[in-house]
Structure 1
Amino acid sequence: MTEASYLRTTRTAYDAVAVEYARLFSTSLETQPLSRALLAAFAELVRAADAGPVADLGCGPGHVTAHLHGLGLSAFGIDLSPAMIALARQAHPDLRFDQGSMTDLDLPDGSLGAIVAWYSVIHTPPERLPETLAEFHRVLAPGGHLLLAFQAGDEPLIPAQAFDHKVTLAYRWSPDGLAEVLGRAGFAEKARLVRQPDENERFQQGHLLARRTAKP
């Protein structure tokens, strides 16, 4: 299957900035109490379901994967960028990190208990988002949880709200619009959080927690 051009562009861009990105963001959760609280609630739900391992898709330098592991989850990371995977393995040698694309996961159907995509679907063109969510649905066990983090916007998903992300082209998502796309992909929204930007952020930050239904 021919790889989409946006995936090649995203991989190249993150390879180029991997070291600086890891320096800037590997400790970011330490100053984000709301993010930590949401991840803790997510971990509690996943532990209660006991449905399988957790994939951190678009894991970057592995800090969220490590945080999930610290919350008692069997978490592993996947990222498009080989440079990011190398840094994640170096920083967290006791955890599993694989190079791969969230659009074509090398995982069996229904093999995951949960997925976290922490600011990683933001580089997906809106018209390609349904196929990405379909892949999430495929690899999640029925009832499995999905947690998305993204820069929030207030316009419909199409036309896209593209913005000048510091690494490569990215898109802001309307929480209502994203929840609607999730519903069509076979996910039921459980909760959402939209917070105001911190000092070093330009936009509201959105989080959606959803659960996989039986069929899309």
Structure 2
Amino acid sequence: MPDLSAFPITHKWPATQPERLQLYSLPTPNGVKVSIMLEEIGLPYEPHLVSFDSNDQLSAEFLSLSPNNKIPAILDPNGPDGQALELFESGAILLYLADKTGQLLPQDSAARYQTIQWLMWQMGGVGPMFGQVGFFHKFAGKDYEDKRPRDRYIEEAKRLLGVLDQRLQGREWVMGDAYSIADIAIFPWVRNLIGFYGAGVLVEFERFANVQRVLERFLARPAVVRGLGIPRRD
């Protein structure tokens, strides 16, 4: 049985199943990327809720694992060379889990890098831009009298949805017939934009028929349904 007591994060979130990968997260778009991935690949794991309401993400224990104070983060007791591995950043975790299990990332070098490019596209564009739409439409930014910042991010969100819609033309998934980490990275953010943020009308989501089609297929996957609720909020 692995001993994880040397890792400070386990002092705040004790591992009841230390032989399993430990997930520290919250069901946000970035957080559910990893829970969905873990559900898809069938790797045993133990989830721990990092509550923003109590500023868990700023605790010394969480910062010892994720110095950028963002979820998700993992502690894998069965990392490379038999050593425990700490990892933060959702994109890096998706790549690690894909490589660890040989799933949801093509083995062919060209297709592998093309999948990674769409993962990076989500991380560099979709996440930050859709998040800004949420801030200016749903949260504190909605009270700003000057609507130019909001409108700027709305237009960029529309542009990104257009890029994705074009990519999905004639394809089942981002990479064609094969479901991959690119889909797991992108579609939780699309769901959040039109759902939790309530920005579907603002971004004219009805224009993007291919995105709608693939989002529906994504949300129908049993592993996605399960992963969207993990870690469970109390």
Whether TM-score is above 0.5 comes out as no
Determine which structure has greater relative contact order: mean sequence separation of CA pairs < 8 Å that are 6+ residues apart, divided by chain length: 2
Tell me which protein shows more strand as a share of its residues.
1
Structure 2-normalised TM-score?
Answer: 0.27
Tell me which protein shows more helix as a share of its residues.
2
Structure 1-normalised TM-score?
Answer: 0.28
